[in-house]
């Protein structure tokens, strides 16, 4: 009763490779992950494009918070997000803004480091780990929960419990986890519009047991 691999394959066959995260550098990816919080990607992307001249940590660190906020306005919550970007930079500075240095850290330790930054919660931390620091982990966001729940999975209550449960049954491949999260997000957009059951849903053959 844990064919997470099977669901992955069905989604992949149907939607194809998603190519997440769309960013030129790891730093850009991490900025994007903060700007996209509770916001659609179009708005976040627009905000990222408005700080294109500042997409190096040592440069953005010198940009005053109020100017940063003004630039990222399209992403919404711009004052709070400017603040969050600043606290992230403050942390990143302690590692010389060096992605490769940070990547050497143990996955769990690094995750805790990120969670200690004000404005970075479990989901933002996980996508950073997955797409910027190349850590093969499963992102257990609301979408993943919703989709698995629909298929009757008996899921652990806690965020970490669910995460390790899925990871236990998956091969530890970075690319697979990167695609899986993207595919679940893509699929979530589709199924919500097609209640109660979508006839072209690639997961229909899995056997949906619960709704909601």
Partner DNA sequence: CGCCAGGGCCATA
Partner DNA sequence: TATGGCCATGGC
Residues that bind DNA in the complex, under the rule CB under 7 A: 20-22, 32-33, 36-43, 46, 73-81, 118-125, 127, 141-143, 157, 185, 189, 192
Shortest Å distance, C-beta 108 to DNA:
17
Sort residue 27 into left (φ over 0), alpha (ψ -120 to 50) or beta: alpha
| CB 189, min distance to DNA, A | 6
- In 3D space, the residue among 30, 13, 21 whose CA is nearest the CA of residue 177 turns out to be 21
Instruction: State the nearest-atom distance from the C-beta of 30 to DNA, in Å.
Output: 11
Residue closer to DNA by CB (options 102, 120) is 120
CA–CA gap between residue 120 and residue 105 (Å, rounded): 18
* Residue whose CB is less far from DNA, 157 or 207: 157
Comparison of 10 and 181: residue with beta carbon closer to DNA: 181
- Of the candidates 126, 131, 132, 128, which has an alpha carbon nearest to the alpha carbon of residue 144? 126
d(CA 76, CA 53): 20
Q: How far is the CB of 129 from DNA (least distance, A)?
A: 11
Instruction: Closer to DNA by CB, 2 or 83: give it.
Output: 83
Whose Cβ is closer to DNA: residue 38's or residue 171's? 38
DSSP per-residue string spanning 189-212? HHHTTS-S--TT-TTGGG------
Helix (H) or strand (E) holding 92: helix 78-93
CB of 151 to DNA, least distance (A): 20
């Amino acid at each position: 009763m844990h064919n997470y691999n099977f669901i992955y394959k069905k989604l992949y066959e149907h939607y194809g490779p998603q190519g997440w995260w769309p960013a030129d550098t790891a730093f850009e990816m991490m900025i994007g992950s903060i700007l996209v919080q509770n916001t659609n990607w179009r708005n976040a992307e627009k905000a990222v494009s408005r700080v294109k001249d500042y997409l190096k940590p040592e440069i953005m660190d010198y940009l005053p918070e109020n100017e940063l906020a003004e630039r990222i306005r399209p992403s919404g919550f711009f004052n709070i997000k400017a603040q969050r970007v600043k606290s992230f930079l403050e942390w990143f500075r302690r590692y010389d803004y060096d992605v490769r240095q940070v990547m050497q850290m143990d996955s769990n330790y690094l995750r805790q480091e990120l969670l200690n930054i004000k404005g970075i919660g479990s989901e933002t931390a996980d996508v950073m780990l997955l797409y910027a620091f190349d850590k093969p982990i499963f992102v257990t966001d609301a979408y993943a929960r919703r989709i698995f729940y629909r298929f009757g999975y008996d899921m652990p209550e806690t965020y970490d419990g669910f995460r390790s449960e899925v990871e236990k049954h998956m091969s530890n491949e970075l690319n697979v986890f990167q695609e899986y999260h993207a595919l679940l997000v893509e699929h979530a957009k589709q199924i919500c519009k097609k209640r109660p059951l979508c006839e072209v849903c690639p997961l229909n053959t899995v056997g949906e047991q619960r709704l909601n």
